Structure formats: structure tokens, C-alpha cells
């Protein structure tokens, strides 16, 4: 882990203040992104499934509690990771999304309620689901045209995967040709390896290694993913892989009327479907089937990590649609986690991008369900005080819950005499600046987090901000990753974002020499992304310059996200870019909004999805002269593009709409989702900038305000006609 990186925290979500929730979401986004890259690209996960699920669950719980704080780079909006450079890329005709998770019976019941509410169904009306084991393998999409397999692609980042067609054709469970299939049919499922085959494969690899240390797979999932993602299809053919079909992407004609019937059709076409798949008439049957599958888990012969529930009627699935990274009509009910006991050997303090000081528990390594855990998160001084955690304590570690791994409790009966309470530092361990508890400008309450006051002079904050600036969801500069940013920063070649875009000029004028400089931390000559010394590979430096120049024009949303404004991530950046149209207007509004009594502030709050805390983060950022100066220097080097509406062909693209009253033909959530998909801006309040107010029955104050402002008011029927 980078010495400036901040670990995840374990304070209960219900006790988080808004500021600490925003900081926690930032750390969770970074941790999950790293885990995705290790899992999907490297086939070498750095955390367990239970840990990963727990990170996502904590992220989801915080977003539900603080919906206005949802980040632009929220894991809730992402699927998988970018395709590996070793494979030809394959664009999915229909995105391969992930699933939302349920962790207990109450979550499943809540899922049923959400579906019913969205569809407008009564509690006692019929609503069936299918339930099937969630296979722990590698997702694969198979595209058939005229019955012939023409493309097999991994999930990748959900939009673009890796073309592994030749490899997939070596798997016996995957037919090369289909009879009586639709002209276009994308079959989706999971590639997996059985327990027996996994053990036999590792034994074979051990024999083949002879006197060398064998490169063995850690578990069947890694073995399946590593075997399918081989550049040499002959290696894949030598591996015992299997495939279960469970879904579909693009189809030229409807497969059936229900999920259950579609699965039976897959079976007739020659695909294997999981024999434990069952149609359930209600939540009680779903939970009963979950219990049956969990009891059989140990003897199935392959890994599963839960049960997937899907709304059975396909017309309901179509109405429910998707939100962020997952469908509204499906959920994965995950199996519970495990606990273990170990010794807390030390407590270290790490500093994150926002300056927060985070205590990290260093543990005597302990195996929890086959995974070695050596670190746990402690969140802040209050958490340590509340649990009375001390160096040398025996503690209970849990691999699931709000965040993983976490210290659940201290076994005080085993505490050594003389164990001292931990004294939280009042100075930053990185730069020595004072560390203080800030006062929340919105609530007036003192923040439980202690933050370094060093700001941009603190290396821990500056380097992490620069890493964020060049990250994939921000400027995404080719050849300039975390390693290079850290090295350039330590060498004092890059101190702020604008410095990135002056590298070529400074190299040409002789102010710097990137061909010979050394990394101060270890004295090594700077290495490019391929591990070659730049002293002998000047081409890599030229490529870096070209990669930087390629990003001198960038979308307004990416530009805003890259600034690293507190509480503003990818999603909020898109909202601001869409609302203001360009960075200049956003910049001007942010400066003016310091006066909360004028229209600029109210206009910012009218953006659907932007609350007072996010607005305050923007205002605070632009209130600092050094931030404005840094942005001005950056704008002298790059050109943010004018934001475009998501659907320019729609009659409501770019229009601001407000829904009020009770709608009859669709729920409010469904109406908002439809409007946004057509490129409209959905606002929660009426103003002079509102283009349409869609008024259902019982419309009240918003309708009166719209009439007073001269805003065009539409009935639900008129709205439906307008949008087609």
C-alpha cells in the first residue's frame, strides 16, 4: 500500500456525520477500484469475495443514508474493470451489468417492496421470482448470428470486454452452432471450474514445474478466469472448464414471456442451466430455497457465493429497467461471512487525499475462511475510544459487515496488565502540520475526524490529488499512472495539475531532463509502464508527451471531476456539467454562490441530486484563492468541451423538468428514469429555468409556483405524447 494511502474505516454507518460519510465514500471508491482491477484484469484478487461484498455493502449503505453524497466515481455505477491490453476489445451490444446485493432476509423483503413500489403493485398481488445459485466464476457473453457462434467476450468494464472466442470454442459446454435459435442471440453465463478439476490442475502444474516453484492457482475462480483469458487457446483447451447459462443480451426476437421459460429454452438449445434453479411465488419461497441451497453448498462440487433472485415476468423486467451498475429486477442474496481472533500488534496512522488521519490496526496474521488477514480499520479516535482498543489486545476480526476487515470487539479478559490507551496524534505524521477536528459549516458540529491542516503543502494530500487527476475517470492520461505521478512529485517535477501540461515545453527548454532523472525515494532510474529505463527508451517519454497532448481537450464533466472537489465525484460532476453546460459557467456560479441569498446558490441547489453539503464543497473549493489560481493555470493549458445532452434527438433533450403530484401510468421513479434517459434534466424544485412541470393529481405548491412563473405545465398524458 502507498505510504500516503488511507485505509477503510469501521464506524457504523448510522453514526457517520455527512463529512465523514463523504470521506468514507472516497476511500471505498478507491479500494473497490483497486480490487476490481486485481480481480477482473489480473485474475489475482487482493481481497476475498466477502471482503469485496462488504466494501460494496458499506458503500451502498452510506449512499442510501446520504444520497446527496454519491460520488461520480461511485462503485454503484461501475461494473468490472477495463479490458486487458493483451486481447482484442469487444463492444457489448447490451451492457453486461453487475447485481445489487442482499445480505439478510430483511434485504430480500425490501427488494420485493422496491419492485412492487416501482411497478405500482399491491402487497398482495402476484409477483413471482426465479432463484438460482450464484456461481463464483468468470462472466461470459456468447453472440450467435444465424445460429453460429461469432463472438465470445468477457464482461470487462460492462461496456467493453475481451474477445476470447477461440478460447470459448474449446469449452465442451459451449455449442458452436444452435438449431432453431433467433437470428441474433447473446447468451450470457458463468465459466467455472469444479473442485476436483481445480485440485487436479494444480497437481499437474506442480508436476510440470519439476524443480521450480510451481505457479499455482489460489482457488477455482482464479483458475477458471486465468484459463479462459489465455492468449494461447491451446492452453485453454487443456484446462477443464464448464459453463452455466443464466441470462441474455441482444436478441432479435423475444425468447419467452418469463425468465423461467427463457431458461428452459436455453436448455433446449443445448446449454446447461443450473439444476437448482427454481421458480418461487413469493419471498417466503425464495428464502426457503436459499436455505436449501446453502445446506447443499459444501457438496455441490463447485463454488457459489449466494443465490440470485430475478423477477420472473419479462415485461416487468423491461419496465423496471436498470439503475447505475445493476438491474432493478434482480438481486444477489450473498452467504454470511466469518470471524476469527488474533492479536492487535500496533496502531498506525495514515493520511488520505482529504487530509484525514486514519488509524489502522496491524494484526498478527490470522486465517479467516482461507484468507490471511493482517490489517483492519479503526476509523478515528472516537472509534478507538468507544471500543477501548489498545496495542497488544486480543481482538475479534470479521470479514463482512459494514467494512472488511474490521475489529468487532476487544477480548478484555485477555488484556495484559499495564496496557496503555492509544493517544491519537495532534500533528500530521507526514508533514508535521497541526491535525485538528474541523467544524461542519452546515451543522456547526465538530467533526470526529482529525485532519491535517497542511493542505497542498502536505505530500500525502498533494500526491493523492494528482493521482486522482490522472485517474481513469478523470483525465485518464496514457502512460501517467500512480507510480509515475509519485515519482514525478517526489522529484518536484509535477506539483500541481497544470505542471503536467508543461512537461514537454520544460523538457524542450532544458528546465527538466526526464531522460536521466532518478527517483529520490530509492535512487532508481525512472521506469516506464513496461518497466524499461527511460535512459534507454526515449520513445516512452515522447509517447507520454503525446498522451498528455491528447487530453488538452476534455469533457466538462471529466474536468470538474478531476479537480478533486470534496463531495464531487463522477456523478455530481456530470450533473454540474449538464446543468451549467460548460466549466466557465460552473466556475462563475461557484464563486457567486458564496452568497447563499442570491439566485446562484438557489440555482445550484435546484439541480436534482445536488444537496447543500455538495454545494458547500464546491463553494469552499472556489473560495480559496490558491485553488482558483490553480484552476486558472490549468485552464490556460486545457480546453473543457461544452457538455452535450445525453440524447440530442429527444424533444426534451437539455430541458429541465419537474414532476409533482400522483402519476397514474407510471411511478415517480419510473418517470424520472425515463426523462433522464431522453436527455432531460430532472429537478426537484421549480424555478424560472424550469421548462416543463408535469403535474399529476393532487399537485400543490409546485404547480402554483410554476403557474406564477409562467412555466409550461403538462398533464401526464401530454408529457407522454411529447416524449413519444
435 DSSP β-pair partners: 452
Q: What is the distance between the alpha carbons of residues 159 and 157, in angstroms, rounded to a whole number?
A: 6
Q: How far is CA 45 from CA 39, 196, 371, in A?
A: 4, 22, 11
Domain span including residue 623: 554-641
Whether residue 36 is predicted with pLDDT greater than 50 in this model: the reply is yes
Do the domain assignments include residue 340? no
Q: What is the distance between the alpha carbons of residues 528 and 534, in angstroms, rounded to a whole number?
A: 6
Q: How confident is the model at residue 455 (pLDDT cuts 50, 70, 90)?
A: low
Q: What is the distance between the alpha carbons of residues 236 and 165, in angstroms, rounded to a whole number?
A: 11
Q: What is the distance between the alpha carbons of residues 480 and 501, in angstroms, rounded to a whole number?
A: 12
Whether residue 86 is predicted with pLDDT greater than 70 in this model: the reply is no
Q: How far is CA 48 from the centre of its chain?
A: 17
Residues 124 and 263 in one domain: yes
Residues 177 and 324 in one domain: yes
Residue 331: exposed, middle, or buried by beta-carbon count in 10 A (0-12, 13-18, 19+)? Answer: buried
Helical H runs in 147-232? 165-168, 195-209, 220-228
Do the domain assignments include residue 35? no
The angle formed by the CA atoms of residues 387, 392 and 395, to the nearest 5 degrees, is: 45
Residues 275 and 167 in one domain: yes
Cell numbers for 466: 494528482
pLDDT at 8: 42
| 3-state class percentages of the chain: helix first, strand second, coil last, to nearest 5 | 40, 20, 40
Q: What is the distance between the alpha carbons of residues 344 and 415, in angstroms, rounded to a whole number?
A: 11
pLDDT at 432: 84
Give catalytic residues, as residue numbers. 134
Do the domain assignments include residue 106? yes
**Residue 104: how many other CB atoms lie within 10 Å:** 12
pLDDT at 332: 96
Q: What is the mean pLDDT of residues 583-609?
A: 90
- Cell numbers 398524458: residue: 717
Work out the mean pLDDT of the chain and round it to a whole number. 84
Residues 630 and 663 in one domain: no
Residues 559 and 586 in one domain: yes
pLDDT at 499: 95
Query: What φ, ψ does residue 363 adopt, rounded to 5°?
Result: -110, 155
Q: What is the distance between the alpha carbons of residues 293 and 299, in angstroms, rounded to a whole number?
A: 10
Q: What is the distance between the alpha carbons of residues 526 and 545, in angstroms, rounded to a whole number?
A: 15
Residues 538 and 576 in one domain: no
Do the domain assignments include residue 349? no
Residues in the chain: 724
pLDDT at 415: 92
Task: CATH number of the domain at 314, please.
Answer: 3.30.470.30
Q: How far is CA 713 from the centre of its chain?
A: 38
pLDDT at 519: 43
Lowest mean pLDDT among 49-53, 199-203, 519-523: 519-523
Q: What is the distance between the alpha carbons of residues 707 and 308, in angstroms, rounded to a whole number?
A: 48
* CB contact at 8 A, 404 and 47: yes
* CB contact at 8 A, 263 and 187: no
The answer for 476, left when phi > 0, alpha when psi is -120 to 50, beta otherwise, is left
Task: CATH number of the domain at 608, please.
Answer: 1.10.150.20
The angle formed by the CA atoms of residues 406, 412 and 415, to the nearest 5 degrees, is: 105
Q: What is the mean pLDDT of residues 349-359?
A: 86
pLDDT (tens digit per residue) in 147-156: 999 999 999 8
The residue among 519, 486, 480 whose CA lies nearest residue 500 is 480
DSSP labels, 15-70: G--HHHHHHHHHHHHHHHHHHHIIIIISS--SS-HHHHHHHHHHHHHHHHH-GGG-
Residues 100 and 176 in one domain: yes
pLDDT at 516: 63
Q: How confident is the model at residue 301 (pLDDT cuts 50, 70, 90)?
A: confident
**Angle formed by the axes of helices 625-635 and 612-623, to 10°?**
80
CA-based radius of gyration for the chain = 27
Fill in the DSSP letter of residue 267: H
* CB contact at 8 A, 127 and 121: yes
Cell numbers for 575: 450533473
pLDDT at 281: 96
pLDDT (tens digit per residue) in 628-665: 888 999 999 999 998 755 556 788 888 889 999 888 88
Residues 504 and 560 in one domain: no
Do the domain assignments include residue 327? yes
Q: What is the distance between the alpha carbons of residues 275 and 244, in angstroms, rounded to a whole number?
A: 10
**Residue 372: how many other CB atoms lie within 10 Å:** 10
214-221 contact pairs (CB < 8 A, 24+): 218/44, 218/45, 219/303, 219/370, 220/136, 220/137, 220/192, 220/193, 220/194, 220/195, 220/302, 220/303, 221/136, 221/137, 221/138, 221/192, 221/193, 221/303
Report CA torsion sign: 131, 136, 138, 144: negative
Query: What φ, ψ does residue 170 adopt, rounded to 5°?
Result: -85, -5
Q: What is the mean pLDDT of residues 545-570?
A: 91
DSSP H or E run through 332: strand 330-334
Lowest mean pLDDT among 84-98, 185-199, 354-368, 396-410: 396-410
Do the domain assignments include residue 164? yes
Question: Where does a domain end: 550, 567, 599?
Answer: 550
The residue among 111, 10, 109 whose CA lies nearest residue 58 is 10
Question: Where does a domain end: 517, 550, 583?
Answer: 550
Whether residue 483 is predicted with pLDDT greater than 90 in this model: the reply is no
Lowest mean pLDDT among 154-168, 287-301, 673-687: 673-687
Residues 498 and 580 in one domain: no
pLDDT at 525: 45
Do the domain assignments include residue 693? yes
Q: What is the distance between the alpha carbons of residues 590 and 626, in angstroms, rounded to a whole number?
A: 15
Question: Where does a domain end: 550, 578, 594?
Answer: 550
pLDDT (tens digit per residue) in 397-428: 876 543 468 888 999 988 999 999 999 999 88
Residues 309 and 278 in one domain: yes
**Residue 538: how many other CB atoms lie within 10 Å:** 11
Question: pTM to 2 decimals?
Answer: 0.50
pLDDT (tens digit per residue) in 107-138: 999 999 999 999 999 999 999 999 999 998 99
The angle formed by the CA atoms of residues 638, 643 and 644, to the nearest 5 degrees, is: 140
pLDDT at 105: 94
641 DSSP β-pair partners: 555
Task: CATH number of the domain at 677, please.
Answer: 3.40.50.10190
Number of domains in the chain: 4
pLDDT (tens digit per residue) in 221-267: 888 988 998 888 888 899 999 999 999 999 999 999 999 999 999 99
pLDDT (tens digit per residue) in 94-104: 989 889 889 88
Helical H runs in 550-683? 556-562, 570-580, 583-592, 599-605, 612-623, 625-635, 668-677
Whether residue 559 is predicted with pLDDT greater than 90 in this model: the reply is yes
Task: For 116-144, give the secondary structure using H, E and C.
Answer: HHHHCCCCCCCCCEEEEEEECCEEEEEEE
Cell numbers for 124: 398482495
3-state secondary structure of 278: strand
pLDDT at 447: 79
Do the domain assignments include residue 401? no
* CB contact at 8 A, 567 and 620: no
Residues 534 and 678 in one domain: no
Q: What is the distance between the alpha carbons of residues 447 and 28, in angstroms, rounded to a whole number?
A: 19
Residue 22: exposed, middle, or buried by beta-carbon count in 10 A (0-12, 13-18, 19+)? Answer: buried
* CB contact at 8 A, 406 and 430: no
Fill in the DSSP letter of residue 711: -
Q: What is the mean pLDDT of residues 451-473?
A: 80
Q: How far is CA 465 from the centre of its chain?
A: 19
Q: What is the distance between the alpha carbons of residues 609 and 321, in angstroms, rounded to a whole number?
A: 20
Instruction: Give the up-direction half-sphere exposure of residue 304: CA atoms within 13 A in the CB hemisphere.
Output: 24
First to last CA, the chain: 52
Residues 102 and 227 in one domain: yes
Q: How confident is the model at residue 486 (pLDDT cuts 50, 70, 90)?
A: confident
Report CA torsion sign: 247, 249, 252, 254: positive
Whether residue 370 is predicted with pLDDT greater than 80 in this model: the reply is no
Amino acid at each position: 500500500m502507498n505510504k500516503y494511502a488511507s485505509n477503510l474505516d469501521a464506524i457504523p454507518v448510522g453514526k457517520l456525520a455527512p463529512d465523514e460519510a463523504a470521506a468514507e465514500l472516497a476511500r471505498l471508491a478507491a479500494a473497490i477500484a483497486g480490487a476490481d482491477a486485481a480481480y477482473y484484469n489480473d485474475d489475482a484478487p487482493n481481497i476475498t469475495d466477502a471482503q469485496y461484498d462488504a466494501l460494496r455493502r458499506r458503500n451502498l449503505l452510506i449512499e442510501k443514508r446520504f444520497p446527496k453524497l454519491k460520488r461520480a466515481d461511485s462503485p454503484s455505477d461501475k461494473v468490472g474493470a477495463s479490458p486487458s491490453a493483451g486481447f482484442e476489445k469487444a463492444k457489448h451490444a447490451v451492457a453486461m451489468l453487475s447485481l445489487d446485493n442482499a445480505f439478510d432476509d430483511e434485504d430480500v423483503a425490501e427488494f420485493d417492496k422496491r419492485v412492487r413500489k416501482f411497478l405500482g403493485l399491491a402487497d398482495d398481488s402476484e409477483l413471482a421470482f426465479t432463484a438460482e445459485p450464484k456461481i463464483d466464476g468468470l462472466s461470459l457473453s456468447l453472440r450467435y448470428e444465424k445460429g453460429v457462434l461469432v463472438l465470445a467476450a468477457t464482461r470487462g468494464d460492462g461496456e467493453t470486454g475481451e474477445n476470447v472466442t477461440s478460447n470459448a470454442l474449446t469449452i465442451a459446454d459451449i455449442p458452436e452452432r444452435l438449431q432453431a435459435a433467433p437470428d441474433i442471440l447473446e447468451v450470457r453465463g458463468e465459466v467455472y471450474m469444479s473442485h476436483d478439476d481445480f485440485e487436479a490442475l494444480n497437481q499437474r502444474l506442480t508436476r510440470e514445474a519439476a524443480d521450480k516453484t510451481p505457479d499455482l492457482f489460489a482457488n477455482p475462480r482464479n483458475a477458471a478466469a486465468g484459463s479462459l483469458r489465455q492468449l494461447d487457446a491451446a492452453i485453454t483447451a487443456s484446462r477443464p472448464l464448464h459453463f452455466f447459462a443464466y441470462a441474455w443480451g441482444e436478441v432479435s426476437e423475444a425468447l419467452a414471456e418469463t425468465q423461467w421459460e427463457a431458461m428452459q429454452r436455453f436448455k433446449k438449445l443445448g446449454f446447461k442451466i443450473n439444476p437448482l434453479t427454481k421458480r418461487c411465488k413469493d419471498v417466503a419461497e425464495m428464502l426457503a430455497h436459499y436455505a436449501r441451497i446453502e445446506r447443499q453448498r459444501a457438496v455441490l462440487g463447485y463454488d457459489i457465493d449466494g443465490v440470485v433472485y430475478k423477477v420472473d415476468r419479462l415485461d416487468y423486467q423491461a419496465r423496471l429497467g436498470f439503475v447505475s451498475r445493476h438491474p432493478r429486477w434482480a438481486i444477489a442474496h450473498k452467504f454470511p461471512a466469518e470471524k476469527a481472533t488474533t492479536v492487535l500488534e500496533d496502531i498506525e496512522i495514515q493520511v488520505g487525499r482529504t487530509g484525514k488521519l486514519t488509524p489502522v490496526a496491524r494484526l498478527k496474521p490470522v486465517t479467516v475462511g482461507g484468507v490471511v488477514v493482517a490489517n483492519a480499520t479503526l476509523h478515528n479516535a472516537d472509534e478507538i475510544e468507544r471500543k477501548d482498543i489498545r496495542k497488544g489486545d486480543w481482538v475479534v476480526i470479521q470479514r463482512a459487515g459494514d467494512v472488511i476487515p474490521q475489529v468487532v470487539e476487544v477480548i478484555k479478559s485477555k488484556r495484559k496488565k499495564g496496557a496503555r490507551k492509544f493517544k491519537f496524534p495532534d500533528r500530521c505524521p507526514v508533514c508535521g502540520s497541526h491535525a485538528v477536528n474541523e467544524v461542519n459549516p452546515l451543522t456547526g458540529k465538530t467533526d470526529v475526524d482529525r485532519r491535517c491542516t497542511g493542505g497542498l503543502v502536505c505530500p500525502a494530500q498533494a500526491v493523492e490529488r494528482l493521482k486522482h487527476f490522472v485517474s481513469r475517470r478523470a483525465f485518464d492520461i496514457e502512460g501517467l499512472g500512480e507510480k509515475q505521478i509519485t515519482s514525478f512529485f517526489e522529484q518536484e517535477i509535477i506539483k500541481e495539475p497544470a505542471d503536467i501540461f508543461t512537461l514537454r515545453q520544460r523538457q524542450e527548454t532544458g528546465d527538466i531532463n526526464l531522460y536521466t532523472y532518478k527517483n529520490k525515494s530509492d535512487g532508481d532510474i525512472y521506469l516506464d509502464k513496461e518497466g524499461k529505463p527511460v535512459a534507454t527508451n526515449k520513445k516512452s517519454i515522447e509517447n507520454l508527451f503525446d498522451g498528455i497532448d491528447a487530453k488538452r481537450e476534455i469533457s466538462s464533466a471529466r474536468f470538474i471531476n478531476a479537480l478533486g472537489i470534496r463531495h464531487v465525484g463522477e456523478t455530481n460532476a456530470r450533473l454540474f456539467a449538464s446543468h451549467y453546460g460548460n466549466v466557465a459557467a460552473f466556475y462563475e456560479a461557484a464563486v457567486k454562490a458564496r452568497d447563499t441569498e442570491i439566485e446562484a446558490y438557489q440555482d445550484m441547489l435546484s439541480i436534482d441530486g445536488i444537496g447543500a453539503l455538495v454545494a458547500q464543497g464546491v463553494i469552499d473549493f472556489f473560495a480559496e484563492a490558491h485553488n482558483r489560481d490553480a484552476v486558472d493555470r490549468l485552464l490556460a493549458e486545457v480546453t473543457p468541451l461544452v457538455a452535450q445532452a445525453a440524447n440530442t434527438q429527444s424533444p426534451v433533450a437539455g430541458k429541465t423538468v419537474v414532476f409533482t403530484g400522483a402519476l397514474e401510468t407510471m411511478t415517480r421513479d419510473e418517470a424520472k428514469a425515463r426523462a433522464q434517459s431522453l436527455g432531460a434534466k430532472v429537478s426537484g424544485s421549480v424555478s424560472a429555468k424550469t421548462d416543463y412541470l408535469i403535474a399529476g393529481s393532487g399537485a400543490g405548491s409546485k404547480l402554483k409556483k410554476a403557474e406564477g412563473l409562467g412555466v409550461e405545465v403538462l398533464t401526464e398524458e401530454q408529457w407522454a405524447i411529447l416524449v413519444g
